[in-house]
Amino acid sequence: MTTTITRRALLAASAAGAVTAAARPVFAADKVRLRLSGPMSPTDQRAVAMLNIFAPEVAGFANFEPHWNATLFKQGTELAAIARGNLEMSITSPQELAQILPEWSIFTAGYLMKDAEHQIKVFNAPFMDAMKKRVEEKLNVKLLTVMYLGRRQLNLRFSEAEKKVMTPADLKGVKLRMPGTDAWQFLGRALGANPVPVAFTEVYTGLQTGAIDGQDNPLPTDQDKKFYEVTKQICLTSHLVDQNYLALSSHVWNKLSKADQAALQKAADNAAASARKAQLDLEDKLVAFFKEKGLDVYTPDVEAFRKHVQEAYLKSDFSKDWPKGMVDQINAL
Ligand code: KDO
């Protein structure tokens, strides 16, 4: 049966639509659009904090539009998207920044940063101002706050009985997935492994199929992505106290009123603080969780790993790009 919509009915429907639109509070028109793209899942603690704390706190002047699991932009392409004006926010990393600004590789060096508190002190230290300014000048990105990702641990497909990893020599020939940037690949080599670049969203499948022998991430990530379903051991190297930065397009920041800038900054800090606490709480209890899931979890000869990794960095070209004396300034905090 075909229904013909009379002209009168069509006019009535569109008039009704206009009435409800006028009655509806104006949403999108006068608010800034904040699209964030990231490879993490929506249940990752940083995503949870952005959804539950950041979004509501900026809702008066901004629409937060998250895109998780790298569904909008592939991992590592977000900063370029922001520079092109196709994205407003990302949760970036020193490893991604170092691809464009080499001095940031200082924060990709294993066994340098001590813990979550140290990350906050360093991020807010005056000696960081010049580095942040370079990010704004070169990338048109403002680093709002530091987010605690956690202590990275080795997570391997083979059991402790098949191969116990106590020193870097035990990683010889092990295909260890590391994220794609040069700094990550170098860290994989510094640990003694054979680094293999795989996108974060492909790691589970790589472990499941055996394309890789293992990966490294903090315990909360291993739980959130269910890597424990396809691995048999976690070797607690704590080789990098890993940090991310909540990044915002400078064009967006510069258009905000002073009051909105202050509100956005506070929302960012509140979200980062909440996520940090959640990650730390998880790190405290997840060893027991993974043991219950049947994984072997043990501590290797951390000093052997620390020595091997630090020597690799000091001998590397990376350290030539580090601001003079900054390692000492970081260690002094
Ligand atoms: C990863 O790909 O293993 C990594 O942990 C690298 C980090 O820098 C960061 O990009 C992180 O993924 C994502 O935020 C997903 O947790």
pLDDT at 30: 84
Q: 145 and 20: one domain?
A: yes
Atom of ligand 1 minimally distant from the CA of 221: 16
Q: Is the pLDDT of residue 1 over 70?
A: no
Does residue 91 sit in the same domain as residue 161? Answer: no
pLDDT for position 5: 46
Q: Is residue 211 part of a domain?
A: yes
Q: Is 300 in the pocket of ligand 1 (CB under 6 A)?
A: no
Weakest mean pLDDT among 9-18, 28-37, 66-75, 188-197: 9-18
Sequence-distant (6+) residues with CB within 8 A of 118 are: 241, 333
- Ligand 1 pocket residue status of 95, Cβ below 6 Å: yes
Task: For strands 233-249 and 296-298, give the pairing.
Answer: parallel
CATH number of the domain within which 316 lies: 3.40.190.170
Whether the predicted pLDDT of 325 surpasses 60: yes
Same domain, 124 and 138: yes
Q: Indicate which atom in ligand 1 lies nearest the CA of residue 218.
A: 5
Evaluate whether residue 37 is within a structural domain. Answer: yes
pLDDT for the residue 12: 55
Confidence category of residue 314, pLDDT binned at 50, 70, 90? confident
pLDDT of 133: 98
CA distance 220 to 108: 20
Report helix angle 182-190 to 302-315, nearest 10.
Answer: 130
Contact criterion met (CB below 8 Å) for 274 and 49:
yes
> Do 227 and 171 fall within a single domain?
yes
Q: Is the CB of residue 119 less than 8 Å from the CB of residue 241?
A: yes
Indicate whether 1 belongs to any domain: no
My answer on whether 107 and 247 are in the same domain is yes
Tell me what pLDDT residue 106 has.
Answer: 97
What range does the domain containing 224 cover?
Answer: 152-241+285-332
pLDDT in tens, 207-237: 999 999 999 999 999 999 999 999 999 999 9
Q: Looking at residue 8, what is its pLDDT?
A: 58
Query: Has residue 15 got a pLDDT over 80?
Result: no
Q: Whose CA is nearest to atom 16 of ligand 1?
A: 40
Residue 333 has a pLDDT of: 97
In terms of domains, do 301 and 272 share one? Answer: no
pLDDT digit string, tens, across residues 143-178: 999 999 999 999 999 999 999 999 999 999 999 999
Cβ of 243 less than 6 Å from ligand 1: no
Q: Are strands 141-156 and 214-218 parallel, antiparallel or unpaired?
A: antiparallel
In 168-177, which positions are buried (b, 16+ CB within 10 angstroms) versus exposed (e)?
bebbeebbbb
Which alpha helices (H) appear in the chain, and where do they start and end?
A: 7-23, 45-49, 55-58, 78-84, 94-100, 116-123, 129-139, 182-190, 203-209, 219-224, 250-255, 258-292, 302-315, 326-332
Would you say the CB of residue 179 lies under 6 angstroms from ligand 1? yes
Q: Are both 194 and 61 inside the same structural domain? A: no
Q: Indicate if ligand 1 lies below 6 Å from the C-beta of 195.
A: no
Q: What's the structural domain count of the chain? A: 2
For residue 40 and ligand 1, the question of a CB distance below 6 A is answered with yes
Mean pLDDT of 168-194: 97
